[in-house]
Structure 1
Amino acid sequence: MSKDKSAKIPTPQAVRGTQDMLGDFADRFAHVVETFERVRRLYGYKRVEVPVIEPTAVFARSLGETTDVVSKEMYSFEDRGGESITLRPEFTAGIARAYVTNGWQQFAPLKVATHGPLFRYERPQKGRYRQFHQLDAEVLGSDSPLADAELLVFADQLLQELGINEGVTLTLNTLGDAASRDAWRAALVEHFEAHRGDLSEDSLARLDKNPLRILDSKDPKDRPIADSAPDIDAFLTGEAQDFFGAVTAGLDAAGVAWERNARLVRGLDYYRHTAFEFVTDRLGAQGTVLGGGRYDGLIEALGGPPTAAVGWAAGIERLAMLIEEPGAPDKAEAIVVVESDGIEAVGFEVSAVLRRANVKTDLIASGSIKKRFDRAVKRDPDTIVSLGLGDDGGVSVRVRSAEHMHEIEEILATIDWKAWDRR
């Protein structure tokens, strides 16, 4: 078979909503992950890993058969054994499944965090991709409002350490306990039924199974009806009010600013109490950069025991887009320049010694000998170590350092230069 030499290699961009990363944006992406890993350790969140592929039932049962994610956006397919499997569209369901199947209840309350790729088949837009990446933090097995507050303080510190908290607002709501939510749901159904003829098709479909979702409808036809719907405050039990008060008191004590958004909802029945989003207008219409809430009924819905839990997720790409300066530039602190042929191995040893001493080091040992030093100067490192052959045939060493000269000389003093002279 002859090959078509004109055929081009497909790129990820050929699949709409996927991307390659290199250079500045890849640095921003890595900076988000590194900052998350550092901050989660400050709060005692253990690293957790869950599979990219799960049985479809894990997500169908946790996200709800009627949600857009399950009905329209999941990458699901049958494997060779005939089982329906799905590329994970989010982390929480897999972590909840792992909590049940691995017996992690013994570690409750369990604070875990992870990050990695997720997959949703949706219309690509700014900061949203079909393969995308998220940070995720969860507390499983705690019914304390302090768990909600700590998660929110964790999120706030992450945004501050990334330098993107300016112009980002924490919006907060309570969905109440089960009794509060049931009473509110019944009042909402009554309200929307009275306006059934004026609702959009999507809202009519949600009315029977997911009426709370009508409150955040973007359809102009629905907005007047949703805006006139009753708030949850009239239906909150005393216990639910106390829970929300404890969360907000924790935020106030930690100095975290927040705003109430009584229209912020989570549609599925297993959500309870706290719902929150960190929002900004710097990313266009899609303003949420981090969001989450309490989901006390999820693990029970997956077949586990009744278990209180709360968590949040944030898109890494979206956070990276908000970073104006990704931290220290990815440049070498020291460059080793080999200016004579035949001593490349010396350059390798010097580079290795510097790197083991935690000095970020590059080696220039190829290309035009006359231009190697100039290439190093153009990259503007703190230190240049120039290696050449002396008149006596030994290795000559010249060090040019803008700072830390003494430390560099001490590191280089550990090398047995006479051994190289003998070679």
Structure 2
Amino acid sequence: MNGQIFSLNRFAQTSPIRKTELHYQLNQYNQNRRITDLLLAIAVISGLMVPFLRDLGSSYSLATDWEVNRFAFSTSNGRFASLFDLIQQISFSILLLRAISKSRKANWLVISCSVFGLIIYSLMAVANNAGDLTSVLFGNVPTTVFIIPLFYLLSEDPRIEQLIKEWVPLLSLICFIASLASIIKFKSICGFGSYIGWCPARDYFAFGISLYWSTVVLTSNEKHGYFITMGIGILACIAAFMLATRSWLIQPMLVMLVATFMAKGIDKVFKRTVIVIFAAGTALLALSFIYPEVLDSFLNRIGEDTRSNQYEIFYSQVEPASLIFGNGISAGYRYGTNSNYLFFDNQIIYLMFHFGVLAVVPLLYVLLRCLFGSSKNSQCKFVALFYLMAILGLSTYYSYIINVGVVLLFSSFGFALNNIEPERSNRMRNADGEK
């Protein structure tokens, strides 16, 4: 009896302490959740403001003296857009630092490789007077490209997973609508038979296609996932057609066809294939009747060779061996009228040109795990393949930098990668049971 009384007294003494600990943990959880919500909202809103501000101050001029329908874009709001771009990148970077601090030990190798490359090449750039630390990290050729693949770690936070699943379909829709609005504005000023290179409409489209891929990965098992994929995909086709970009027209059509062929049952596959072809064809045909000049400008670009010429110019000036260790953030080559052109459509070559093989290793690690991992999310495998095709140069004006589309896409890859480990554990347990 005395022992029971002593035990009850002891519980009564420790119970308030445990309640205090639980209350503290709950407060910490709510505080971390609010910080995550705030940082993600700031990053997304700031990212979408970048092309919006550029478009507000837009002006257009003939790109060359001998082409009357090709225009170049410029903006008077470049400084404000750059400020929001910086806010976006810093906010995403803080989210990544928080994710790294909580990450599993299994990720230490890819984290070490990325962080090592970031530190070494940033220090080299500062030492070579290529710019101050801010411009080195977040400038035209940022060293933060090393850590972009690590954004798959954001998926380990259940709150971020929930927010991204809720946001990406709507964000993708908004970006494609904004792209359409921007390109219609351009064509209403310069003529519907004209076309343009880099512009806010293409930035919106790049965001939209990345978010579209994320939508496919995250909604593949949902009841209305197929119809969401089709609706956004058709809108993407219309935007690509208006932009007169062949490669970006291919991407959403491939996604829609893959989603269709993965439908269960041959009847569903056939019916959905007919629906996809009919809906996309009808939309593009109607658009060509409304704006026949758009169709002409698109058809004129079909026969153009915009890829091999860049490779010839690049390798005539750059030694292939220099791609092993890279040439630094300020390295460039003569391209057209630009005597020090920093960029390249093939983002793998772009990374190696500036930062060597080390910058490519974390990227390929994530993509190859998506492609050949045992995750049951087949849509993720196809999206990883389409993304790899895009960064290898299939799609132009698609930058490998920290922005809304790229970050949320890699986060989506993480959701699929997180399912690989449980599958392997289950197989190992089953194998042990069989023994």
Considering fraction of residues, name the structure with more helix.
Answer: 2
Question: What's the TM-score bracket when you normalise by the shorter of the two chains?
Answer: under 0.3
Bigger radius of gyration:
1
TM-score normalised to structure 2 length: 0.24
Question: What is the TM-score of this pair, normalised by structure 1?
Answer: 0.24
Which structure would you say has the larger RCO, counting Cα contacts within 8 Å and 6 or more residues apart? 2
